[in-house]
Structure 1
Amino acid sequence: MRINRFLAQCNIGSRRKVEEYIVSNRVSVNGKIVTDLSTQILPTDIVKFDNNIVKPSNVKLYYLLNKPSGYITSVSDDRGRHTVLDLIEQTPEHIFPVGRLDYNTEGMLIITNDGDFANQLIHPSHEINKVYQVIINTQPSIDQLKQLEEGVKIEEDFVTSPSVITNQHKLNNGTYQLDITIHEGKNRQVRKMMNAVGLNVLYLKRIKIGGLPLGNLPLGKYRKLSNSEINLLLKKEK
């Protein structure tokens, strides 16, 4: 078994995340640091992450969290800020957030210990839709909406895939709200997309992943997911 898949089954992160750990010299096999992602793990090998022995787990946990603003989407923070795991009751299993929501963004976040599942949910090749509710400072023009829907350049070498804009309407305080559907997960992508076309994000909340909506889960609370809901998360919607 390749080392990234082995570590994902040890529930320390998705395959993409554990690859970062591997190349950062945090993984050893039989006492030797390993950085080669093609390394094969045998049943007799002793694998350590951050000098702790890790083994695959058969107990899988899946939680839905309504993340509040002011929490880091990480298992820890070297600056002492609150992380999303501070909102989850401690468990003997090593759980982690799937994907990212930035510090000031609210909404739907999946917490699990299933690395293979996390990889299915966040890898761009699977094209799982994410829907965000956005409040912006002004009414977007037809041209701005067209740019967002066709794709915009948000990094030197990255242009977003086409998005879908729905539910656009004016709020009582003069700001505007809309929903945007994307399937990529670049850091601060929705904020960067809005900035790229001259719009300022005042509020951002993820409200749906795949076929599963956030629903009425209170802010800062979490709950376990059913098997049918887990399947809905991986559903590709047009």
Structure 2
Amino acid sequence: MTPADRRGGGGDAPEGVRLQKVLAAAGVASRRVVEQYIVEGRITVDGTVVTELGTRIDPAVAKVSVDGVAVQLDADKLYFMLNKPRGVVSSMKDEQGRPDLRRFTKDLPGRVYNVGRLDGDTSGLLVLTNDGELAHVLAHPSFGVEKTYIAKVQGTVQPQVLTKLKRGIELDDGPIAVDAAKLLQAGSGGGFSMVEVTLHSGRNRIVRRMLEAVGHPVVELVRRQFGPLHLGTLRSGEVRALTKVELGRLLTIARSDERG
């Protein structure tokens, strides 16, 4: 269905809901402001620029973007960020009775589940949602969503170690390279170093295995960034809803991968 098909015409009852009403309900802006966006050609529906104020859409299936940023029209979809503490497994119900994610989700307005996993010893950013399509894109390694970690490691990390990580090393399950690596703090006297690494691999415990392979076992590991999301000042164990800007960036990534 094209944008023209969504407009009611002739004597037939119009189908769908007016675009400005849908976007106002989604919290984008007031109807009047959205109408201005439409006239200015700033809104696309299913990839096509819409400039007619009479445009109607089916909010259940239409993919709408404003200024190139995707908008979620389904108010039942939930999106949260958790700063997962160490010692908590990335599961809604752990069969071994270990601390799991339920303590952080029990007061949320609906059932959610985690996107991907962080092992029990790793803390940091974990996305919680009930949006299965988005979760698939974010978690699947083929989509290449980047993750950034801060690692406290044993020993003094030399520049050549970072170069080696970027060029790639061989592990038991195949070759792997980080997308970026930098030294935040060099150890002295055989102490500890702080390293930031960014990669898009979804392999199990990959950061720990890579750093151990180059002679610097991980002592502590925190995921600070997941795609366009940053942990910021969110405290350990705290949960917050994603902002409209953050959600828009995530949805834009997902829809871009769908088209690709």
Q: Could you tell me the TM-score, scaled by structure 1's length?
A: 0.69
Question: How far 1:92 moved relative to its partner?
Answer: 6.6
Q: Structure 1 residues 143 and 67, CA, compared in 2 at 3 Å: closer, same or farther?
A: same
Q: Quick check: 1:225 aligned with 2:218?
A: no
Question: How far 1:122 moved relative to its partner?
Answer: 1.6
Instruction: Give 3-state SS (helix, strand or coil) of 2:201's partner.
Output: coil
Moved more, 134-143 or 197-206: 134-143
Q: Quick check: 1:77 aligned with 2:94?
A: yes
Q: Quick check: 1:126 aligned with 2:114?
A: no
Residue in 2 aligned with 1:213?
Answer: 230
Instruction: Give 3-state SS (helix, strand or coil) of 1:178's partner.
Output: strand
Instruction: Give 3-state SS (helix, strand or coil) of 1:120's partner.
Output: helix
Residue in 2 aligned with 1:115?
Answer: 132
Contact 2:166-2:181 at 8 Å conserved across structures? yes
Contact 1:120-1:234 at 8 Å conserved across structures? no
Q: Quick check: 1:202 aligned with 2:202?
A: no
Deviations 1:134-174 (A, max 9, x none): 11111123332222112222333x22244311243236893
**CA radius of gyration, larger in:** 2
Residue type of the alignment partner of 1:212: L
Alignment partners' CA distance in 1, 2:143 and 2:223: 19
174, 191, 199: which one pairs with 1:182?
199
Question: How far 1:113 moved relative to its partner?
Answer: 0.8
User: What is the RMSD of the two structures over their aligned residues, measured on CA atoms?
Assistant: 2.2
Residue in 2 aligned with 1:36?
Answer: none
Instruction: Give 3-state SS (helix, strand or coil) of 1:181's partner.
Output: strand
Alignment partners' CA distance in 1, 2:226 and 2:153: 22
Instruction: Give 3-state SS (helix, strand or coil) of 2:245's partner.
Output: helix
1:1-238 pair list within 5 angstroms: 59-91=76-108, 93-156=110-173, 158-170=174-186, 174-233=191-250
Residue type of the alignment partner of 2:185: H
State the percentage of identical aligned residues.
Answer: 34
Structure 2 residue ranges without an equivalent (≥5): 1-73, 254-260
Question: How far 1:188 moved relative to its partner?
Answer: 0.7
Deviations 1:68-113 (A, max 9, x none): 0010001111110111232223457431111110101111000111
Question: How far 1:126 moved relative to its partner?
Answer: 1.8
Moved more, 119-128 or 220-229: 119-128
Residue in 1 aligned with 2:30?
Answer: none
Q: Could you tell me the TM-score, scaled by structure 2's length?
A: 0.63
Contact 1:73-1:102 at 8 Å conserved across structures? yes
Alignment partners' CA distance in 2, 1:187 and 1:233: 23
Structure 1 residue ranges without an equivalent (≥5): 1-56
Q: Structure 1 residues 222 and 172, CA, compared in 2 at 3 Å: closer, same or farther?
A: farther
Residue type of the alignment partner of 1:164: A
Alignment partners' CA distance in 1, 2:88 and 2:244: 27
Deviations 1:13-45 (A, max 9, x none): xxxxxxxxxxxxxxxxxxxxxxxxxxxxxxxxx
Residue type of the alignment partner of 2:181: I
Q: Could you say which structure has the greater relative contact order, defined with CA pairs below 8 angstroms and 6 or more residues apart?
A: 1
Alignment partners' CA distance in 2, 1:234 and 1:169: 35
